[in-house]
Homo-oligomer: A and B are copies of this chain.
Amino acid sequence: MIQTPYLLFLGDAPDQLAAKVAQGIKDWRPSNAVGQFRLPACRADMGLQDMSLEQGLQAGAKTLVIGVANRGGTISVEWKAVLVEALRLGYDLAAGLHNLLRDENELQAAAKVNGGTLHDVRVPTIAYPIANGIKRSGKRVLAIGTDCSCGKMYTAMSMDSEMTARGMKSDFRATGQTGILITGKGVPLDAVIADFMAGAVEYLTPDNDPDHWDHIEGQGSLFHVSYSGVTMALIHGGQPDALVLCHEPTRKHMRGLPHFSLPSLAILRDTALPLAQVANPAAKVIGISVNTKALDQAEARILLQQIEDRMDLPTTDPFRFGSGKLVDALTNL
């Protein structure tokens, strides 16, 4: 568990996209962020109040979260000066960089002297069990994609927010570094050892109230040959009651694999559902989430209607039009 609230470190982010983690926190857990800390060269802006480290502390911040990824995922000299000072002032640090906080001697030393904690959310800290496949109480929904990076996290976040707004029992279950930093907890599934992947997902989504929903963040795609094993472990470890199909309609090929084309939504449905029913015979595909960012509003509405008609499943862009349709489908299960 990472202590909240956060001060968001945007560093010298060259553009808004580089601050994807901060953006996720701003979008989905705004109450977790008291403000933003920017270096002079920073070109990203979350629209939060700019604060010094001291001002962040006065506003109640407990953890300085690295909300930016630079090329190579390293910790620059400029960053390090800020991070050491933050530890000196009493902050914890949290990051999902390839360059681990704990691998920097100065950060290790400053954390030790000041009693601060370094959270490297990319690295598992728990010995996960081997999955046992025993049916758990409570309900689970998993977002699966035609490709990587097509909106699975945002879909799960949005359904969780919608359920919370309706007064339903609901948790977002993070399986990647961004989700873990946003919510302060989760499992960094792509860094777990093969034999324990499905067990890590079982650990993440334990027995719960019969009317409680876990919204499990998807990873990879059954059709992405680099990461399909991780997706498979989510489908079997998560034993979802419901699947939501996620799609980015303008993608020309599988992400990072220029010689692989995307599957259709129908093929994704027909492939994923029987696999999900191995772990949970009652599993159903309940809706479709389309990332329409590349389309204008009118085009987006037309496309969503076309897909809904063709697939005969509630279809929305959760970020643009909300996930009410998907939550309706879940409550009707």
Contact = CB atoms under 8 A, between A and B. Distances in A.
A278 B229 contact: no
A194 B195 contact: no
Contacts of A257: 132-133
Interface string A216-228: 0000001101111
Contacts of A227: 195, 198
A195 B199 contact: no
A181 interface: no
Interface stretch (A44-52, A230-238, A311-319): A230-238
A236 B228 contact: yes
Contacts of A263: 278
A193 interface: yes
Interface stretch (A27-35, A184-192, A298-306): A184-192
B275 A271 contact: yes
Contacts of A259: 133-135
Nearest to A229: B233
A28 to B, nearest CB: 24
A229 B194 contact: yes
A229 B236 contact: yes
Contact of A195 (B130, B131, B230, B274): B230
Interface in A221-269: 222-223, 225-233, 235-237, 239, 256-257, 259-260, 263
A84 interface: no
B237 A131 contact: no
Please give me the 5 A-B residue pairs with the lowest Cβ-Cβ distance, nearest first.
A229-B233, A225-B236, A232-B232, A229-B229, A133-B225
29 contacts: A131-B225, A131-B226, A132-B256, A133-B257, A134-B259, A135-B259, A190-B193, A191-B193, A191-B194, A191-B195, A192-B193, A193-B194, A194-B194, A194-B230, A195-B226, A195-B230, A198-B227, A198-B229, A199-B226, A222-B275, A223-B278, A228-B232, A228-B233, A228-B275, A229-B230, A229-B232, A229-B236, A271-B274, A271-B275
Given A133-B259, A199-B226, A226-B236, 15 more contacts: A133-B257, A133-B260, A134-B259, A191-B193, A192-B193, A194-B229, A194-B230, A195-B227, A198-B227, A222-B232, A225-B236, A225-B239, A225-B278, A228-B232, A229-B229
